[in-house]
Amino acid sequence: MTTTRYDIMRPAPRVRRPSWRVPHWWPQVLIYAGAVAVLALWWRTTDSITGLDGWLTEAGRVTGLLAGYGCAVLLALMARVPALERGVGTDRLARWHAMGGRYTVCLVLAHALLIIWGYAVTARTDVVHETATVVVDYPEMLKGTAGFLVLLGVGITSARAARRRMRYETWHYLHFATYLAIFLAFSHQLASGAQFAGSPWAKAAWYTLYIGVAVTLAWFRFLMPAVRGIRHGLRVTAVHAEAPGVVSVYMSGRHLDELRAEPGQFFRWRFLAPGFWWTANPYSLSEPPRGHRLRITVKEAGDHSRALARLRPGTRVWAEGPYGGFTGARPHHDRALLIAGGVGITPLRTLFETLPGDVALVYLARRPEDLALRGELDDIARVRGARVHYFVDEPSHYSLSLDGRALRDLVPDIRHRDVYLCGPPGMMAAAQGALKQAGVRRRHVRSESFEF
C-alpha cells in the first residue's frame, strides 16, 4: 500500500460557481404539470362514461396513463442531469424517485386490476377467466404482462426491508431490469391504449416524452462518463490508510478544472480494474480539488469499498459527476457548524477548509482510532483559527449526548449558524432532532444522505 504526504498549507483553488442551478421546487412543478396534462389527455379522448363496467374500465385507463407517465418521470429523476443534481441535491432526487416508484407500482397494480374487472363486468364473466383471456388473446398483452411482472419485482427488491438484505451491487444490477419493464410497458401502451388509437398527436407526445428521457438518460449516464474518462485521463496515483477500514484514494488527471467540482460534492467512480468495471459507486471528495488531483476517502462497507484498498497506482478511472447540492452555495449566515459522524467527515472536511467566516466542526466516531483525517482537521483548524471538537462512544466519558442542550453548550450561537450534517442515518436523525431542540431553523440545516 502506498502512502502520500498531505500539505494543508497549500491553498485550495477558487471554485467557479455554476450559474445554472435549478431551484429545487421547479422540478416538482413540472412533474405535477405533466400529470395534469396526462389527465387532460384522458379527459379529451374519453366519451361519456356509463355503467359500472365503464367506470371501472376508464379508471383502469387513467391509472395506466399516469403509471406510464410515472415511469418516464422515474427515469428522468435518475438521469443524473447536472443542473438537477446541483440545484435539487442527489439525496432529495433519490427520495423523490423512491416515493414516485411506490406510487407508480401502485398505479400499475390498480391499472391491471381495474381494467380486468371492467372487462369482466362487460363480458359477464369472472375475473380469473377474463385475466386469461386478456393476457393470451389481446394484442401486446404478453409484453405488457411481462413488463408488469418485472416492474413489480423491481419494486419489491427496492423496498427498504429487501434492500437491507442484499449488497448494493446486487440491488444496482437488479434495478437495470426497470429499463426492460418500461420498454415492454411502453410498447403495450401505444398498441393497446384507447387514448392513442385514434389520436396521432397524443401518440406523438408520448413518443416525444419517452425519446427525450431516453436520450437524456443515455447521454448523462453512459456517454458523458465515457467522454470524460477519455478527456481527463484519471488514474490512481496512491492509496493511503487513514483509519481501521478507511482508505484514501488519490487520483490525478488532465483538465480537472473543467469538472467544476465544488467542496461537498461527490462523483460516481468506476475503476477500470478486474472486479470494478461494472460498478460505479458514489464517494465524496475528501479534499478540495487541487489542480490535477482528486481524492476520496472510503470506509469499508461492502465488497466494492473493501476492494479499494487493493487498487494499484496507474489504474484508469472514469468519474461521473460532480453531483450533489451539499455545498456552501447560498448561505443564510456568515458562520457555520459542521456535524460529522464516522466517514461522513469526508464532504465536511472539504467544507471545513473552504467555507468562509467562522466555522466550527463537531466530529463523532465510535473510537479514537476511527477519527479519520484527524491530523488534517487539526491543521486546518490551526491555520484558519477554527474550532474542532472530537467525541467518541468508547470510552464513554468522551462521548457527546446529541440533544439540544448539549449542542447549545458546545456552540452557544448555534441558532445563528448554517449547519451542515453528514453521517450514518441513525446519527443524522438524532442530530436533526437535537438541532430542532436547539432552536435551529430547518431551512438552515443542510444534510445529504448517501443511501441511494
User: pLDDT tens-digit profile of 76-95?
Assistant: 998 888 888 877 878 788 88
For cell 477548509, what's the residue?
Answer: 353
Report the alpha-carbon distance of residue 330 to residue 418 in Å, rounded.
10
Residue 162's pLDDT is 66
Residues 233-323, CATH architecture: Beta Barrel (2.40)
Select from 3.40.50.80, 3.20.20.70, 3.30.1280.10, 3.40.50.300 the CATH code of 335-447. Answer: 3.40.50.80
pLDDT tens per residue, range 95-150: 898 899 899 999 999 999 999 999 999 988 888 888 888 887 777 777 778 888 88
Least confident of 103-117, 144-158, 236-250, 263-277: 144-158
Higher-pLDDT residue of 247 and 397 is 247
| Stated pTM of the model | 0.77
pLDDT tens per residue, range 210-230: 999 999 999 998 898 888 889
How far from 423 is each of 228, 273, 309, 451, CA to CA, in Å? Answer: 30, 29, 22, 11
Residue 10 has pLDDT above 50, yes or no: no
